[in-house]
Amino acid sequence: LTLGGCDGDGGDTKPASGKDAGPGVVAPGRPGEPARTLTAEEAAKEASRDTANSADFRYAQMMIKHHSQALVMTELAPERASAAAVKRLAERISAGQKPEIGAMEGWLKRNG
């Protein structure tokens, strides 16, 4: 009985073009406004209009500092940690944080 409603006969769920556009993208509204459901194409157009603001730049700058501090701590692990699991964790953190710093630095350069 529960699968009976999922047979796809409802013509109102397909786009007007008749093609399956896939799942919708929920775009949050501005404060006090409801969210909107966009098609994938509409979401791509909306995303291309986004521009970085001062909060984005500040966030990236602070995250670079945060990740750099993690790298300082992971450099201490080989000599100071006694547990092998802590040393392995430090290696994984270091391996993950370095590329993320590079990505954020690249984003900052590309966005002025």
55-67, pLDDT tens digit by residue?
Answer: 899 999 999 999 9
pLDDT level of residue 52 (50, 70, 90 thresholds): confident
Tell me if 46 sits within 8 A of 38, measured CB to CB.
yes
5-37, pLDDT tens digit by residue?
Answer: 555 444 444 444 445 556 788 888 888 889 889
Q: State how far the Cα of 64 lies from the Cα of 70, in Å rounded to an integer.
A: 10
Question: Which of the pair, 5 or 50, is modelled with greater confidence?
Answer: 50
72-103, pLDDT tens digit by residue?
Answer: 999 999 999 999 999 999 999 999 999 999 99
pLDDT value of residue 21: 57
Report the predicted TM-score, pTM, of the whole model to 2 decimal places.
Answer: 0.55
Q: What's the start-to-end Cα distance of the chain, in Å?
A: 57
Length in residues, the chain? 112
pLDDT value of residue 47: 74
pLDDT value of residue 22: 63
pLDDT value of residue 66: 96
- For 35-91, the DSSP string reads -EEE-HHHHHHHHHH----HHHHHHHHHHHHHHHHHHHHHHHHHHH---HHHHHHHH
